[in-house]
Structure 1
């Protein structure tokens, strides 16, 4: 299989999947290196394909739009040690953390797709941050950041907002 055929197959796999596929899984499937897959994804994006990169792998398109519900944004501020509590409060109250955004003084708006829906996702995210010895985006802005939260209805969103306020995490 040549590189062009591989990219067609990668795109086909991503279009069919609702869950993220890691670069490692794609590399194993096509018997190439992970770096080759990263390059293939970059070329597919350059061709105009809507491929999202999440902490758990690649997704095709904005699949959040398939589901119904309420989506809102919350501005939060906390320390790195409070991150687990913040994320856990959101998922425990029926929310999905779609992404995180920070307003950087030089680069402007920086964002990262998270798609954290469950306690397991929270554990994986926190573990990945620690294992990779990396900092969260909010470390660039004194802990201030914005989350897009998706939940079943506005009442659930307001419950999440109240829980974060009570925990001292909601920015005011």
Structure 2
């Protein structure tokens, strides 16, 4: 298989999957190293394909159909890293999906990471990866202040999430 053929197959694999696919899974599928997959994805992005990296792997974002369903809003939060789980559980348990996290860095501007967390299992996996990775949350760059984009079934669900987070002292005001 040529590199061009492999990239086409990587793209086809991502288009067929609604959930993220890890570089490790793709590497095994195409009998190459994880680093080769990382390079292939970078080149696909350079060609104009919208491929997002999430903590669980690569995904091609849903198109207009999913964007038209529900309500998408942003919240600003501030909390300690050890309060991340309660923040995420609150959002998910109230019916929201955490699409991303962003921080406003004084030097680099807006930095963001795709999360796509919609279940308690997603949170458990995210936190396990965080704890074993010996890394820091983006929000540590900004004294805990960060922005989440949240997708909800409707606006009232979004407002309920905000109310609950405010009651926990997590919503920034």
Q: Secondary structure at the match of 1:63?
A: coil
Question: What is the aligned partner in structure 2 of residue 91 from structure 1?
Answer: 92
Q: Which runs of 5+ in 2 are unaligned?
A: none
Question: What is the aligned partner in structure 1 of residue 143 from structure 2?
Answer: 142
Partners of 2:64 and 2:120 in 1: how far apart?
23
Question: What is the aligned partner in structure 1 of residue 31 from structure 2?
Answer: 31
Matches within 5 A, 1:5-154: 5-60=5-60, 62-63=61-62, 65-67=64-66, 68-154=69-155
Residues 29-82 of structure 1, C-alpha deviations (whole Å, 9 max, x = no match): 00000000000000111111111111111112x216432100000000000010
Structure 1 ranges of 4+ moved more than 3 A? none
Aligned residue pair count: 171
TM-score by length of 2: 0.97
Residues 74-127 of structure 1, C-alpha deviations (whole Å, 9 max, x = no match): 000000010000000000000000000000000000000000001111111111
Partners of 1:64 and 1:104 in 2: how far apart?
29
Q: Secondary structure at the match of 2:91?
A: helix
Partners of 2:37 and 2:72 in 1: how far apart?
32
TM-score by length of 1: 0.97
Q: Secondary structure at the match of 1:49?
A: coil
Q: Secondary structure at the match of 1:164?
A: helix
Partners of 1:108 and 1:65 in 2: how far apart?
28
* RMSD of aligned Cα (Å): 0.9
